[in-house]
């Protein structure tokens, strides 16, 4: 038995809405993290609203996304007592200052 065209159209619209909603939770672009000259991680269109942990500490981050990020020296996107975070705007790069330690995580800046 065939479904009426209106039912098929409604199902298609619902599926499209679900897909578009899921895409809205990802940043657009790419982030590259290095330790010295060695590439540690490349992320493409990472999900927003969550803390991202680098597999190891990194010294250099290139933010080629359309979102601003915050870098942390802790693995859980928190600022340690007496420490600080580093704001990195979209389409820019930064290198860690040796006195602050390696970056271990990042999340997205509140816009």
Domain assignment present for residue 1? The answer is no
Burial 62-100 (b: 16+ CB within 10 A, else e): bbebebbbbbbbbeebeeeeeeebbebeeeeebebeeee
Reference 31, options 107, 96, 101; nearest CA is: 107
The DSSP output letter for 97 is -
| pLDDT tens-digit readout, 48-86 | 999 999 999 999 999 999 999 999 999 999 999 988 899
Structure confidence at residue 95 (pLDDT): 77
pTM: 0.74
Structure confidence at residue 93 (pLDDT): 80
Domain assignment present for residue 100? The answer is yes
Domain assignment present for residue 95? The answer is yes
Question: Considering its fold, how many domains does the chain have in total?
Answer: 1
Q: What is the mean pLDDT of residues 24-42?
A: 92
Element (H, E) at 95: strand 92-95
Domain assignment present for residue 8? The answer is no
Domain assignment present for residue 76? The answer is yes
Q: Are strands 69-72 and 103-108 parallel, antiparallel or unpaired?
A: antiparallel
Residue 21 confidence (pLDDT) above 50: no
Residue span of the structural domain in which 102 resides: 27-108
Q: Which of 43-47, 63-67, 75-79, 95-99 has the lowest mean pLDDT?
A: 95-99
């Amino acid at each position: 038995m065939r479904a009426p065209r209106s039912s098929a159209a409604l199902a298609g619209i619902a599926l499209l809405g679900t897909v578009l909603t899921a895409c809205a939770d990802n940043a657009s672009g790419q982030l590259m993290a290095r330790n010295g000259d060695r590439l540690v991680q490349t992320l493409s269109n990472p999900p927003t609203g969550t803390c991202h942990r680098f597999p190891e500490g990194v010294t250099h981050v290139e933010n080629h996304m359309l979102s601003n990020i915050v870098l942390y020296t802790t693995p859980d996107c928190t600022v340690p007592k007496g420490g600080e975070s580093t704001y990195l705007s979209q389409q820019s790069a930064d290198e860690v200052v040796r006195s602050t330690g390696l970056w271990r995580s990042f999340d997205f800046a509140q816009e």
